[in-house]
Amino acid sequence: MAVGTRQYLRIVSMAFLAVAALCQVAAASAAQAAIPAAAPTLRTLDLSFKDMGYYAPLSLKGVDGRADLPFGVRLDETVAGAKLHLRYSYSPALVPALSHLKLVLNGEVIGTLPLPHEQAGGEVERDIDLDPRYFTDYNTLSIQLVGHYTQECEDAMHSSLWASISNQSRIELQLRPLSLQPTLSLLPAPFFDRRDNRRLDLPFVFAAQPSFETLRAAGVVASWFGAEASYRSARFPALYDRLPDRNAVVFATNAERPQSLKLPEVQVPTVSVIEEPDAPAVKLLVIQGRDAAQLQKAADALVLGQVVLSGSSATVNEVKYDPRRPAYDSPNWIATDRVVKLGELVDDPSQLQATGHLPPPIRVNVKLPPDLLTWNRRGVPLDLRYRYTPPVSEDNSTLTININNSFVQAFRLRPSGKGGDKSRMLVPVLDDSLAQFNDQIVIPAFQVGSNNQLQFQFALDYHKQGQCADTVVDAMRSAVDPDSTIDLTPFPHYTAMPNLALFANAGFPFSKYADLAETAVVLPDEPQASDVEAMLFMLGRLGRITGVPGLRYQLTHDAAAAGIKNADLLVIGGPAGKDLLSRWGESLPALIERNRRAYTPLARVAAMSGDLLGDSRGNLPSTWRLDVTAGGPLAALLGFESPLAGGRSVVAIAASSPDLTGSVIDALEDEGRVGRIRGDVAFVRGQQIDSFQAGSTYFVGHLPLYLRIWLFLSQHPLLLALFGVLAGLILAFLAYGLLRGFAARRMEH
């Protein structure tokens, strides 16, 4: 019995110990579960008002002055916190009890700022917390001045009603990353997000030694992303056999693939979106093929048909290509073979309308082919039709037309019903509420470049009825009719080359064909990552200029470039003494090697050349050439006629070391410096750019024979005078002979 009792007690004690152990394990598990998972790291983004497109302080005037600031939030991020850092000043005449700044975010009033006398006249800084719940993908922050200078009757447009908002004000966003599903249906997001107005930085990942066929496929994709990024610009860091810590594009074939990423072999062209194994929030756009031909097919299918792709992966069965695009058919350029309506140049007709007495100008971007010859022309014809709420009497209401901030012409806005205005109404449904007019305008040719902006500024006078008799009614409307036209058909395509300004601002001559059908990119025989990055940037920039991907460009290397006769060359310089530029040597306007520089310093190019066809001094023979030994960093952009084919152009990046090609890229991307790139050689030394005309000029394009003769004579005035004298003598002899013949016949009769 005692033995049985002891066994029983032993069993019970062991059971209690087991239960206690289980309880401890459960408690430990519960404690571990109670520890919260690490929160995703927040990213801080500072958006200044300048980043939002305001390059000058915002001016708020009148009793209801207002400014709207648009900005976006990426698809793969959400706002966790936000703060507005506002810097502003205001009129000392404002009555504090009646005046304030009203802040509105996406239609919701988020705060008001008082305007006390003590801070009037100086700059005030305020920090305002913004509720993250009010943010969406596309946002608008509105700042409205509610201003009054008296508690009695006042002039709603009085000059003392003003406030100024610094464009250094900023919105600070705390952004939490969102994990998106890997799907093709979001393309081009998250690799490029239209909500993000910053420059696109998208790494391209290759195998350790990518082939030229792989690099060509990458160039097509880069041109597509450049077209999508548009004004933001785009950079494509080239990574050999390593993955970045952010979204990227990967190019792989079965035989040539990054070893840092395990990819399955494919038998057909494939496009897929996957998560990076070590960082699921990072997405990779993988373009694959069994071989280089299939890889190219996959890249072409991506840029042509991304709108129909869905799921995490898609295979390509067939790609049918359109015929070659004709010259000058870039969707970003205005057509030159027909009359173009202004309504075609805006995304929505509402962009041609304005509200208020002094609204912001109506802006129309007009991008032209850069080789249009405006010589001997008064300007570009603009058939303008406009409407406005008619003033009640003759006053100073005007419509001012500018191009690129330069004055063109102004019109007085007349009251409706005088001088037969009713009979000139072209839109009867508007009745008499809007007066409409039609005017022929000639835009001076010297004011027109390749990138232009027409600005239509309506100024409708405010009519004062007398003390305490004014009523503020914001019913003033004005508009430019979408059927207004601009006519470029009289202008032929003909220009002097080389001209680096045309390349720097409009990608010419490569952009002449939007699909880059007559462009060949030349890389070193063994390109480094910096060379590939320069190539991708250039193709992305050309895509930005033309608006379409460059499907038909050729990619070659130094050793094979001699066989290219039917294309303009874009050359990325390689190792000194081995690259194409070194072999062409003395025919270049400048030669840059690691420890040697040579160039012919003929003439520095002015900011505005008086010769519309280029600097004629470039036709003078070179009398001397400078050749020096020097170290230190130096890069240059060169332009010259191709030694391989007459009438073809070469634009080349040359640098004393491969890593300095980035300085030329920086200069092309800097809106403040790109205007200094001119002539046929532009030296880049840090932030400094020096442009020269060192070689002879040649002409590209087509001119009718009579115009070609007149153009030649206009450049040789002495020869023109000689021809004039000869023509006069010939006419005199002909007239003399005719008169003698008439006299002889009269004598006979």
| Cα dist from 440 to 123, 402, 484, 486, whole Å | 46, 15, 10, 10
Q: What is the CATH number of the domain that holds 534?
A: 3.30.379
pLDDT tens profile 214-243: 999 999 999 999 999 999 999 999 999 999
pLDDT tens profile 286-330: 999 999 999 999 999 999 988 788 999 999 999 988 889 999 999
My answer on whether 562 and 619 are in the same domain is yes
- Residue 13, domain member (yes or no): no
Report which of residues 272 and 423 the model is more confident about: 272
Confidence of residue 597 (pLDDT cuts 50, 70, 90): low
Confidence of residue 124 (pLDDT cuts 50, 70, 90): very high
State which of 126, 143, 177 marks the end of a domain: 177
Q: How many domains does the chain divide into?
A: 5
Concatenate the DSSP letters of all residues of 60-89 into one string.
EESTEEEEEEEEE--TTEEEEEEEEEEEEE
- Residue 607, domain member (yes or no): yes
State which of 315, 331, 347 marks the end of a domain: 315
Q: Is the pLDDT of residue 504 over 80?
A: yes
Average pLDDT, the chain: 83
Distance CA 548, CA 303 (A): 9
- Residue 14, domain member (yes or no): no
My answer on whether 276 and 155 are in the same domain is no
My answer on whether 91 and 207 are in the same domain is no
pLDDT tens profile 136-174: 999 999 999 999 988 888 877 788 999 999 999 999 999
The DSSP code for 548 is S
Q: Are 432 and 416 in contact (CB under 8 A)?
A: yes
Confidence of residue 28 (pLDDT cuts 50, 70, 90): very low
pLDDT tens profile 399-431: 999 888 888 888 888 886 333 333 232 222 333
pLDDT tens profile 343-382: 999 999 999 999 888 888 999 999 989 988 877 777 788 8
Confidence of residue 58 (pLDDT cuts 50, 70, 90): very high
State which of 149, 177, 205 marks the end of a domain: 177
Give me the percent of the chain exceeding a pLDDT of 90: 50
Weakest mean pLDDT among 105-109, 344-348, 433-437: 433-437
Name residue 102's beta-bridge partners. 112, 144
Tell me which residue range forms the domain holding 635.
494-701
Give me the percent of the chain exceeding a pLDDT of 70: 82
My answer on whether 540 and 667 are in the same domain is yes
Kindly tell me the burial class for residue 529, based on how many C-beta atoms sit within 10 Å of its own C-beta (0-12, 13-18, 19 or more). middle
- Residue 286, domain member (yes or no): yes
My answer on whether 521 and 447 are in the same domain is no
Confidence of residue 611 (pLDDT cuts 50, 70, 90): very low
pLDDT tens profile 660-692: 889 999 999 998 899 899 998 999 988 899 888
My answer on whether 297 and 231 are in the same domain is yes
pLDDT tens profile 698-724: 989 888 877 777 777 777 778 778 878
Q: What is the CATH number of the domain that holds 83?
A: 2.60.120.260
Report which of residues 113 and 729 the model is more confident about: 113
Q: Among all chains, which residue has been given the structure tokens 């801080």? A: 44
Confidence of residue 1 (pLDDT cuts 50, 70, 90): very low
My answer on whether 675 and 725 are in the same domain is no
Residue 420, C-beta contacts closer than 8 angstroms, at least 6 positions apart: none
My answer on whether 482 and 559 are in the same domain is no
Q: Is the pLDDT of residue 259 over 60?
A: yes
Weakest mean pLDDT among 38-42, 319-323, 643-647, 729-733: 38-42
pTM: 0.85
My answer on whether 146 and 247 are in the same domain is no
Q: Are 273 and 286 in contact (CB under 8 A)?
A: yes
My answer on whether 132 and 274 are in the same domain is no
What value does the mean pLDDT take over residues 119-127? 93
- Residue 709, domain member (yes or no): no
What value does the mean pLDDT take over residues 261-290? 93
- Residue 553, domain member (yes or no): yes
Confidence of residue 604 (pLDDT cuts 50, 70, 90): low
Confidence of residue 432 (pLDDT cuts 50, 70, 90): very low
Q: Are 37 and 108 in contact (CB under 8 A)?
A: no
pLDDT tens profile 522-558: 999 999 999 999 999 999 999 999 999 999 999 999 8
My answer on whether 427 and 521 are in the same domain is no
What value does the mean pLDDT take over residues 125-143? 95
Half-sphere exposure of 301 (CA within 13 A, CB side): 25
Sign of CA dihedral 603, 609, 613, 616: negative
My answer on whether 150 and 194 are in the same domain is no
- Residue 575, domain member (yes or no): yes
- Residue 330, domain member (yes or no): no
